[in-house]
Structure 1
């Protein structure tokens, strides 16, 4: 189980640092570095879902702007929304 969690964490680190836009690389990379070790398995899976969302919608969500998708109300999304970069 620990090996699986470590694989998930590695995947999250990679996806958060290589997004497509430099701004989101920095924002999500910093967010991941701060919160990754504090999240349980369920939260890690929620973070993976968050990282599957395109940069434009993530940026708009983070800044309180209108998005094309609806974000779930969960711990990870709340942490991201309130993250101060």
Structure 2
């Protein structure tokens, strides 16, 4: 891992956690923390391109409230959707535990 790659991952994780829309932060931040280091350079490119979009649109694509534009219907978005589903299966929203 190079310093440039490390810097890219840090910047990407920061962007994922600081979207300005809390619901998106709570999906994208943990996803980046857990998966960014294992993504290929091409997948990192796709994640960075996804993060260029408005928060509410990204969130709507993830949860299926809106149709995802073809350009963003990628393996990375599929991974984010799976991550969201698995995270909520482990600890459902509203679980006081």
8 Å Cα contact 2:62-2:81 kept in structure 1: yes
Tell me if 1:46 matches 2:46: yes
2:54 and 2:70 map into 1 onto residues whose CA distance is 12
Unaligned runs of 5+ in 1: none
1:76 and 1:38 map into 2 onto residues whose CA distance is 12
8 Å Cα contact 1:16-1:25 kept in structure 2: yes
1:81 and 1:71 map into 2 onto residues whose CA distance is 16
The TM-score normalised by the length of structure 2 is 0.75
The structure with the largest alpha-carbon Rg is: 2
3-state DSSP of counterpart to 2:78 = helix
8 Å Cα contact 1:71-1:77 kept in structure 2: no
How far did 1:71 drift?
4.1
8 Å Cα contact 1:16-1:29 kept in structure 2: yes
How far did 1:24 drift?
1.4
How far did 1:27 drift?
1.2
The TM-score normalised by the length of structure 1 is 0.84
8 Å Cα contact 2:17-2:29 kept in structure 1: yes
